[in-house]
Amino acid sequence: MNDHNHNTTQPHPMKQWGRSLQGENSWTMFKVLSEFVDGFETLNQIGPCVSVFGSARTKPDQPYYQLAVEIAKQLTEAGYGVITGGGPGIMEAGNKGAALAGGKSVGLNINLPFEQSHNPFIDPDKNLNFRYFFVRKVMFVKYAQAFVALPGGFGTMDELFEVLTLIQTQKISPVPVILVGTKYWQGLKDWIQTIMMESERNINPKDLELLPIVDEPEEVIRIIDAFYAQKEEGLGPNYNL
């Protein structure tokens, strides 16, 4: 068979969109910008915060809900504002703990077709609504001096791995990322160590150090305090856009 035959291959027909695409309305960009402006103007005024992640489905009578309330209380007593996704479940518990302790309680809500509205424990002037996940994620990350992840679903994993990626790639300053609940998280961390790191070498051993797992609220505070005790420059937003 002659080698030159492959030169005569007919180009394959390209698939077509099933419906005509509208060019993105340029006004959309203004909606995005307005969300950034609202977020920055509100959060710039609040001061150092800790972002608390976790499931929207956790009920108030469940142990992780009560644990999140206590963690948020202790974060407030340690001088931090508490940022959550503003919804029910663990998010509500985080806002509730901050409110009960008289602290700053921030809710970054996302407009979703099936989620309930914001929880009642957010400070009225710190209750932000977002249309775009990516703008909301910038707000979660920029102002948080630490991240506390309680058990949650895909959204919690999304936030967790985004923060780890930003730290790993040095897009944000290293900050504590604390997993709460050994029973829930240990299997994931074991898989990251044995498969992701040791078997496939897709991360470095140093990357695994970013993920302590704790079970007590006091341990969360101890890790954050110890981290900032050794930082000379003190507290500040994680990056400048």
Using CA atoms, how far apart are residues 157 and 206, in angstroms rounded to an integer? 20
pLDDT score of 51: 97
pLDDT score of 4: 55
What does pTM read for this prediction?
A: 0.89
pLDDT score of 19: 72
pLDDT score of 72: 98
pLDDT score of 84: 98
Using CA atoms, how far apart are residues 213 and 179, in angstroms rounded to an integer? 5
Using CA atoms, how far apart are residues 197 and 204, in angstroms rounded to an integer? 6
Residues of the chain with pLDDT under 50: none
Residue pLDDT, tens place only, 123-144: 999 999 999 999 999 999 998 9
Structure tokens at 166: 């930003």
Residues 6+ away with beta carbon under 8 Å from 201: none
Burial 99-113 (b: 16+ CB within 10 A, else e): bebebbbbbbbbeee
pLDDT score of 239: 63
Using CA atoms, how far apart are residues 120 and 99, in angstroms rounded to an integer? 10
Residue pLDDT, tens place only, 94-109: 999 999 999 999 999 9
H or E element in which residue 105 lies: strand 105-110
